[in-house]
């Protein structure tokens, strides 16, 4: 199924072929939206629910995982623009209750250079794993409606040794964004969901995006995501479309649609939301993995592409754009997840296939 909304009648069989192959590789459902010089193309492959024949929705709601981080970063930068947050001010100035290292700045939170332990667990260079909040296997399934308060997540992180001195390294930690969202709430005196509406969703007319907090609900309509786990020697698969995302918090709890992600990311990259100097700050990558402030910079054969993809139990988002916002790729994927993250290789293949097809002109 593909539709073209630009009136140019463009058929994109290479994109349809790519998503159908990925559905065969193990995804339950895929919805893809491409906006470029050929207009807008929307398609889907796979099924909406396991055991059913209905095709996935092309504008269904889905959990966007870590793509949430870019929304949080943009919100912080918009408050920097309003003079309410200092990008290089100590985070401790805004959140004195945690006793944060005074060297940790707001910028370090957004760039993952704070050194703070990741509350969802850490894998160290020597192979040591230090667990955090449970998010795998039967333990997660049994507790998937449990509510964690952001303050709990922060205190868990701070009870563990820092990975490095503030600013001395790079390490991806969901807790950085839990803290960043708390900064937003502290300086505005309002819930993040209200600031998100004021700063981003309202101005851009986005109606399909939700910051759910501890609510397990997901707006209709939506495709379904699943989780496979072992219980007393038996393999079980459960529908985890409804789940409480407070265990990851601002590190990856939001819900959106491919249309809203396109509207949002093309506006951010196209300079329609942030002042030029703050957009430049967002897009300046650190040297380790090319992470700016809530965004990855990726060099491709077609030039620089900015993105922040995300995945959570049974659901993922892709969100890519050229530097000027004129070409975007947004997608929602659902699958049967498991503790071994078995889908990860196919997810990496999907990202590469789409980038090659859309941004590098490699078809087939």
**Contact assessment for residue 258 and residue 250, using Cβ atoms and an 8 Å cutoff:** no
- Residue 190: Cβ-neighbour burial (10 angstroms; 0-12, 13-18, 19+): middle
- Residues carrying an active site annotation: 66
pLDDT tens, residue by residue, 290-332: 999 999 999 999 999 999 999 999 999 999 999 999 999 999 9
pLDDT tens, residue by residue, 136-195: 999 999 999 999 999 999 999 999 999 999 999 999 999 999 999 999 999 999 999 999
Output the pLDDT for position 361: 84
Record the pTM: 0.96
**Contact assessment for residue 42 and residue 36, using Cβ atoms and an 8 Å cutoff:** no
Q: How far apart are CA 50 and CA 357, in angstroms?
A: 28
Calculate the average pLDDT of the chain: 94
Output the pLDDT for position 193: 98
Output the pLDDT for position 9: 42
Q: How far apart are CA 50 and CA 226, in angstroms?
A: 9
pLDDT tens, residue by residue, 7-49: 344 689 989 999 999 999 899 999 999 999 999 999 999 999 9
Output the pLDDT for position 181: 98
**Contact assessment for residue 229 and residue 137, using Cβ atoms and an 8 Å cutoff:** yes
């Amino acid at each position: 199924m593909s539709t073209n909304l630009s009136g140019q009648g463009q058929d994109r069989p290479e994109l349809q072929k790519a998503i159908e192959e990925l559905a065969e590789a193990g995804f339950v459902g895929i919805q893809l939206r491409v906006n470029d010089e050929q207009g807008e193309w929307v398609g889907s492959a796979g099924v909406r629910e396991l055991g059913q024949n209905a095709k996935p929705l092309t504008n269904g709601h889905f959990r966007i995982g870590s793509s949430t981080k870019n929304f949080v970063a943009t919100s912080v930068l918009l408050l920097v623009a309003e003079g309410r947050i200092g990008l290089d001010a100590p985070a401790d100035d805004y959140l004195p209750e945690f006793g944060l290292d005074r060297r940790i700045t707001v910028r370090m939170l957004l760039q993952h250079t704070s050194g703070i332990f990741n509350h969802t667990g850490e894998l160290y260079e020597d192979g040591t794993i230090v667990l955090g909040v449970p998010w795998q296997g039967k333990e997660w399934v049994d507790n998937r409606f449990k509510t964690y308060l952001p303050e709990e997540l922060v205190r868990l992180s701070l009870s563990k040794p820092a990975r490095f001195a503030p600013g001395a390294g790079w390490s991806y930690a969901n807790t950085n964004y839990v803290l960043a969202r708390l900064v937003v709430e502290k300086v505005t005196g309002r819930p993040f969901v209200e600031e998100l509406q004021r700063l981003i969703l309202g101005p851009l007319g986005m109606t399909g995006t939700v910051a759910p907090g501890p609510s397990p609900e997901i707006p209709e309509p939506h495709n379904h995501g699943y989780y496979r786990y072992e219980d007393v020697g038996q393999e079980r698969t459960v529908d985890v479309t409804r789940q409480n995302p407070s265990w990851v918090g601002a590190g990856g709890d939001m819900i959106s649609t491919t249309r809203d992600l396109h509207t949002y990311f093309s506006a951010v990259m196209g300079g329609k939301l942030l002042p030029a100097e703050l957009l430049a700050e967002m897009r300046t990558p650190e040297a380790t993995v090319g992470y700016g402030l809530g965004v990855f910079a990726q060099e491709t054969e077609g030039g620089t592409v900015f993105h922040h993809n995300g995945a959570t139990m049974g659901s993922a988002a892709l969100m890519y754009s050229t530097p000027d916002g004129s070409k975007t790729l947004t997608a929602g994927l659902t699958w049967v997840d498991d503790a071994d993250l078995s889908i990860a290789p196919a997810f990496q293949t999907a990202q590469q296939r789409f980038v090659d097809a859309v941004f590098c002109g490699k078809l087939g």
